[in-house]
Copies of this chain bind each other. A is one copy, B any other.
Amino acid sequence: MRTFFTISELRDELKQIRKEGKTIGFVPTMGYLHEGHLSLLKRAKAENDVIIISIFVNPTQFGRGEDFDSYPNDLERDSILVESVGADIIFAPLVREMYPNGYSTFVDVEGTITQGLCGRQRPGHFKGVATIVSKLFNIIDPDAAYFGQKDAQQVCAIEQMVKDMNFPVRIVTCPTVREANGLALSSRNAYLNQKEREEASVLSKSLQEAKRMVCLGERDATNLKRVMTNLINTAEDARIEYIEIVNAKTLQSMETVKEEILIALAVCFGKTRLIDNIRLDCKS
């Protein structure tokens, strides 16, 4: 396994790999890896010859007052994990390598996909995501790129961007990986204290309860959200930012659920903002 810190060195290596006719699977991350990231790497490895992971805490996707400065990082620890699943290349550039002085170009997915859900609370977040992913695609030119379903809105935005911008990249979405108590894995879980971590299992429980109700025939979004809200509020430290039920493709919110839906939520425990979601098929 090799680690590159500059674009030019990475490109030299990639040129050689391309010359050998090998396919490239790419997993973009912000590091502080967990089993969710590793599941992406494993999937990438099953489908490609060479696996590249980027580890870059991208400043342009953080808003003012968010946790850019405190975002956890540990390249040594991450390297061991990456090697353990047999990935080939880590790309870990500095901020000034990706955003040199005078940087001024941004990619933005406009419309409902990025306006609702997290986009309402985090203006500019998906613009930062679309920009860095575009840059990484241009640098790496992967055959396929792997994203976790936990960031459902990010997946939607990236899929729209890839389609609109004609990126020759196959986007693969992998299931959310969870702890035994249901808590979706996230690098930000490192912020949680023991009590918050236990309480936070209520998020996946509320999604499972909504799924149960939908399976039993409930179609009223308000009812579903009310039950979820009550359940989440049983956790002392939970502060709900949003619970939304939207069309899984357009992310437009709905009153009466039908077809493929996404139930998504963002809830703060103390200073830690957690997100989770579930996709359901409501064909009746």
Using a CB–CB distance below 8 Å, which chain A residues touch chain B? 7, 11, 102-111, 113, 130, 134-135, 138-139, 141, 160-161, 164-168
Contact = CB atoms under 8 A, between A and B. Distances in A.
B109 A160 contact: no
8 contacts: A102-B160, A104-B160, A104-B164, A105-B109, A105-B164, A105-B165, A107-B107, A141-B168
A144 to B, nearest CB: 16
B113 A165 contact: no
A138 B164 CA distance: 11
Contacts of A167: 138
Given A104-B111, A105-B108, A107-B107, 14 more contacts: A102-B160, A103-B164, A104-B113, A105-B109, A105-B130, A105-B161, A105-B164, A105-B165, A106-B108, A106-B110, A108-B108, A138-B166, A138-B168, A141-B168
B104 A106 contact: no
A141 B160 CA distance: 20
Contacts of A102: 160
A8 to B, nearest CB: 11
Contacts of A105: 107-110, 130, 160-161, 164-165
A109 B104 contact: yes
4 cross-chain pairs, A with B, having the tightest CB-CB distances, nearest first: A105-B164, A104-B111, A138-B166, A104-B110
A161 B103 CA distance: 9
A106 B103 contact: no
Nearest to A11: B168
A86 to B, nearest CB: 27
Nearest to A136: B166
A102 B7 CA distance: 34
A113 B105 CA distance: 11
A149 to B, nearest CB: 21
A158 to B, nearest CB: 10
In the complex, which of the residues A103, A104, A106 has the most CB atoms of chain B within 10 Å of its own CB atom? A104
A4 B259 CA distance: 37
Contacts of A113: 104
Nearest to A134: B165
A138 B110 contact: no
A216 B217 CA distance: 85
A146 B49 CA distance: 35
A140 to B, nearest CB: 9
Contacts of A106: 107-108, 110
A25 B89 CA distance: 31
Nearest to A139: B166
